[in-house]
Structure 1
Amino acid sequence: MIAKRLVAIFNDKDESNVKSLEKCIKEIKGIKKLKYQPIVQNNEIGSKIVKMFESRRLAPTFFFVDPWGYKGLSLRLVNSVLKDWGCDCVFFFNYNRINMGISNELVQEHMEALFGEEQLALLNKKLKRKKSHERELIIVEELCQSLKSYGSRYTLPFRFKNASGTRTQHHLIFVSKHFKGYELMKEIMAKESSSQNQGVATFEYNPADIMPGQSLLFKLSMSVDNLTKMLLSAYAGKRATVRQIYEAHSIDTPFIKKNYKEALLKLEESGKIIASHHKKNSMGDNVEIIFKTNRK
């Protein structure tokens, strides 16, 4: 039972926020049923907290970081939690403040802690003379790549737009070392997306999603038709199960498992793949797929 195993720790550097949070927690119905009562701390996130995490072996932990802007958010902080088994991280990425800080020498130390010294230098070169929507794509992409190079394999961004749908407010970025964590979060984010293209989620919450022509982060406007073409190219002449294809190919794409099954059913119907026995209009994880060799 989770009530006997859950340990919840909250931290905020603002003392008034801490008191308000403590009051809200006490008012939660059934809170006393928890074996371990929530802990609320009043500390500023910095090297001291990072060193504490680095020196401890953590139990499976879901770590949520919401810095005000960028201070305290670093690759080292994320890695200090992800180093242990069963630990995942979601952090609030204040794109607007970080976009302004990237070329600001006064906050260069914070930017280097977030992107890495070499990556920050390369990022500044890439951003020269770029339009605003191009800057966003590049910045989030570079952050995700920096997280991967630091030892975290799976990253997944989710974008939030303002009420009119014209500007990005912030991103939530998920980081995990294990495909299972990535898979579960991808399913959750897909369900919370404002819109879909042929059943493929956009991975953004946009209150004004009816607006045409908006650019999508990481080209998340791809459809199942795009996926069928990608699979034919990537797996020509190869053999693999549905699950193996999904796990190997879905990383850094907007596609979830049901999208892969739909794409494979389309390819089977068109005679471009051969599938082992399966029920009509369904494609189990263990169904074996043989892709025909592309002929030029």
Structure 2
Amino acid sequence: MPPRTTCWDLEPHTSAKHLILRRYLQAWLPIMTRWNGRVLYIDGFAGPGIYRTGEEGSPIIALKEAIHHTAQIRSQVVFLFIEADPARLEVLKQQIATLQVPSNFKVQCLLGRFDEHLTQVLDFVKEQKRNLAPTFAFVDPFGFSHTPFSLIKRLMQNDKCEVLITFMYEAINRFLSHPDQPANYDSLFGCQDWREASSVEDPQARKKFVHDLYLRQLQVSAAVTYVRSFEMIDPGNRTEYFLFFGTKSYDAVKKMKEAMWKADESGRFQFADTTDMNQSLLFGTTPDFNDLKSRIVSKFRGSQVTVDDVERFVVIETPYRETHFKQQVLKLMESATPPELRIITRTGQNRRGTFPSGTVIEVL
């Protein structure tokens, strides 16, 4: 349930989400501003920018990451902070006023709903026959209202757009059978297929159905090239929410995975990569290299493939990172007795235990 006060206590699961956001922006900002003269950051449910006991909210986190970034950002960065509550928006403005915002940063605090303001932005871009600037949209509602799938789809039709969506599964599941919600759910999912979920009695099967439907809508209906999902698990081992990350950039997937693995190094939170609910993985402080090896062998046994193909498989089809498989898996497979992989051609200096780009291996 949304808080009724202007400021409220920071929940642990929100703190975890903010840590992921911070980590990702540290990577996203220098990359996007290096190659683009103007970029756009949207916080669709900005809030007051501060919690009751002084912790920073997501708008202030984003601004500070840009202001203090070691890359010394020179491109124009436009921040759109959207908030429906007038009192919260006023507090946010007060928080922003305490910062020394560079002249190449443009900050707009907009009163109103996320869907209404983003529609106006996209309509304006269309009317002007322009392209939307490279955009990162943080869509972080308390529940599931005013986040129509049609708008997410429309946003992602633009090049160089990325979204990080909080999908409030606990609230969505609670109201699946409520007679007042069908229109809201039709809008949220962009289809009526969700209605089948109410007849799924097993809780885990229902969760998988709902999760997979939204994932499929992003992949198929919105044609998002790469979609990853991450589950936030509360201390009672219940699903608080899913984070869905959508992008057209392979490198962005790598940076988001880096953010997720680094965020979990603290051990304070439980995340799971749930892109494939049949092979979900609970993040830990150390990757499960035996599991990764099993996945690689299952995919490539008997095949000759490049190391680059293995990397793409690891990044796109597993929860692991591109830094997790060469020294920790392939090197041990090469030196095993008997060997578990064979080098067909090795680029570079042909040193045993190294796997430069272009190297061809056979998984035995």
TM bucket by the smaller chain?
0.7 to 0.9
- Stretches of structure 2 that go unaligned for 5 or more consecutive residues are 1-71, 126-130
Q: CA offsets, 1:215-248, max 9 Å, x none?
A: 9843215932233233223223332222222214
SS of residue in 2 equivalent to 1:121: helix
Deviations 1:177-225 (A, max 9, x none): 22221121111112112589xxxxxxx933xx9xxxxx98432159322
Output aligned runs, 1:102-121, within 5 Å. Answer: 102-121=176-195
Shift of 1:68: 2.6
- TM-score of the aligned structures, taking structure 2 as reference length: 0.66
Q: CA deviation at 1:167?
A: 2.7
5 Å-filtered alignment, 1:1-296, equals 2-28=73-99, 30-31=100-101, 33-46=102-115, 49-50=118-119, 52-53=121-122, 56=125, 57-125=131-199, 128-131=200-203, 133-150=204-221, 151-162=223-234, 164-193=235-264, 205-206=269-270, 217=274, 218=277, 219-221=280-282, 223-261=288-326, 262-270=328-336, 271-275=339-343, 276-277=345-346, 278-292=350-364
Range with greater deviation from structure 2 (270-279 or 34-43): 270-279
Structure 1 residue 72 displacement after superposition: 1.3
CA contact (8 A) 1:155 1:252 kept: no
Q: Equivalents in 1 of 2:314, 2:139: separation in Å?
A: 29
Deviation of residue 42 (structure 1)? 0.7
Find the aligned partners of 1:156 and 1:110 in 2 and give their Cα distance.
24
Q: 1:257-293: per-residue Cα shift (whole Å, max 9, x none)?
A: 122222222322231211344545443333322234x
CA drift at 1:73 = 1.3
SS in 2 for 1:46: helix
Give SS of 1:226's match: helix
Q: Distance in 1 between matches of 2:198 and 2:317?
A: 23
SS at match of 1:97: helix
Q: C-alpha separation between the residues in 1 aligned to 2:194 and 2:116?
A: 20
The root-mean-square deviation of aligned C-alpha atoms, in Å, is 2.8
Say whether the 8 Å CA contact 1:160–1:168 is kept in structure 2: yes
Amino acid in the other structure paired with 2:293 = T
Aligned twin of 1:199: none
Higher mean displacement: 266-275 or 80-89: 266-275
Measured at CA, do residues 229 and 169 of structure 1 come closer, stay the same or move farther in structure 2, by a change above 3 Å?
closer
Q: SS of the counterpart of 1:139? A: helix
Q: Distance in 2 between matches of 1:268 and 1:252?
A: 23
Mind listing any 5+ residue stretches in structure 1 that lack a counterpart?
A: 197-203, 210-214
Deviation at 1:152, TM superposition (A): 1.1
Letter aligned with residue 265 of structure 1: K
Residues 239 and 142 of structure 1, relative CA distance in 2, 3 Å threshold? same
Q: Quick one: structure 1 residues 233 and 16, their matched pair in 2 at CA, closer, same or farther if it must change by over 3 Å?
A: same
State whether residues 314 and 320 of structure 2, in contact with CA within 8 Å, keep that contact through their aligned partners in structure 1.
no
Provide closer, same or farther for how the CA distance between residues 228 and 72 of structure 1 changes in structure 2, counting only shifts above 3 A. same
Cα shift readout 1:155-179 (whole Å, capped 9, x = no counterpart): 22233333x3433323322111222
**2:119 partner letter:** V
SS for the counterpart of 1:173 is strand
Deviates most, 10-19 or 223-232: 223-232
**How far has the Cα of 1:252 moved from its partner?**
4.0
Q: What is the distance in 1 between the residues matched to 2:73 and 2:262?
A: 25
Contact between 2:166 and 2:242, CA under 8 Å: does it hold in 1?
A: yes
